[in-house]
Amino acid sequence: MKVVLFCGGLGLRLRDYSNTLPKPMVPIGQLPILWHVMKYYAHYGHTDFVLCLGYRGDAIKEFFLNYNECMSNDFVMSGNGANVKLASHDLRDWNITFVDTGPNASIGQRLQAVREHLDGEELFLANYSDGLTDLPLDDYVDYARKQDKTACFVSVHPTATFHAVQNQPDGLVTDIRPVSRSLRINCGYFVLKSSIFDHLGAEDDLVVEGFQSLIARRELVTYEYDGFWECMDTFKDRQDLEDMYSRGDTPWMVWK
């Protein structure tokens, strides 16, 4: 199945890390989070990617055009560097389509912009490109197939503490309390049928308008997952993932 990766947002809450680096290019270890997400899908045999580019799409293109597999694989060097033999490969079997979907488009608009690249795909995968997981992807896809609905997404418990606020029209707060950890959130791992495009208007967002349409038609299901999932939404999130990587605690690296 093809994998659509939404990697065109501004990543405003990560500006403490870099004012110019696009969010998908923010590294964990030596390689950007986008690579980690793609490596995850490749581990399960899904190596045909469609990248929905936007803000600083040039940086993403440059990364792959100049990608050096020696940085992520073992290799043998001889002849004073004249000969390099890789023990394994990353990108050799990957097919990557780069599509400029605009700097300010919503997820739904980005998806519609790559529709022509999904011709013939009855089912495809999609991802926000900012979350890492050890989700058993084959089990998830099997579940989505059996449910046979237009869209399926993975739901997880939030990993951060948020507070729900109630207030009067004048702004006076009447209640504030932590959001219950029993709630589940959409973590951005999707399995979609090609018929998803029948539920998206020209200006629609995938979740806001598209999923509401599916809910009304009983065409949306979720896969509940309680294993590892972490999102890189803020500088602190990035630092937490970097700390995990530094101490070798990398449950998302299912390919190892």
Q: What pLDDT is stored for residue 16 in this prediction? A: 55
| Residue 128 placed within a domain | yes
pLDDT at 128: 96
- The token pair at 38 is 């793609």
Residue 63 lies in a domain: yes
Residue 43: inside a domain: yes
Q: How far apart are CA 90 and CA 32, in angstroms?
A: 14
40 contacts 254 by C-beta, under 8 angstroms: yes
192 closest CA partner among 153, 138, 135, 142: 153
Report how many domains make up the chain: 1
User: CA 128, 43, 254: angle at the middle one, nearest 5?
Assistant: 85
- Please, which residues bridge with residue 28 across strands? 31
Amino acid at 183: L
Total Cβ atoms within 10 A of residue 24: 29
Residue 115 lies in a domain: yes
| Residues constituting the chain | 256
Contact (CB, 8 A) for 123 and 108: no
Q: CB under 8 Å to 225, separation ≥6 — which residues?
A: 133, 135, 140, 154, 155, 156, 187
pLDDT the model gives residue 83: 76
Domain assignment of residue 251, yes or no: no
Q: What is the pLDDT of residue 82?
A: 65
**Averaged in consecutive runs of 10 residues, what is the pLDDT profile of the chain (256 residues)?**
91 59 91 96 98 95 86 73 73 92 94 96 96 98 98 91 84 86 91 97 94 97 97 90 97 96
**Residue 12 is part of a domain; what is its CATH number?**
3.90.550.10
Residue 83 falls within a domain, yes or no? yes
Q: What is the pLDDT of residue 69?
A: 77
Identify the pLDDT of residue 180.
76
Q: Is the residue at 118 inside a domain?
A: yes
Residue 30: give the domain boundaries. Answer: 2-246
> pTM for this one?
0.89
What pLDDT is attached to residue 71?
A: 66
What is the rounded distance in angstroms from the CA atom of residue 15 to the CA atom of residue 17? 5
Q: Which residues contact 94 (CB under 8 A, 6 or more apart)?
A: 38, 42, 47, 48, 49
Contact (Cβ atoms closer than 8 angstroms) between residue 123 and residue 193 = yes
Question: Mapped to the 3 state alphabet, what secondary structure does 41-72 carry?
Answer: HHHCCCCEEEEEECCCHHHHHHHHHCCCHHHC
- Asked, for residue 207, whether it belongs to a domain, the answer is yes
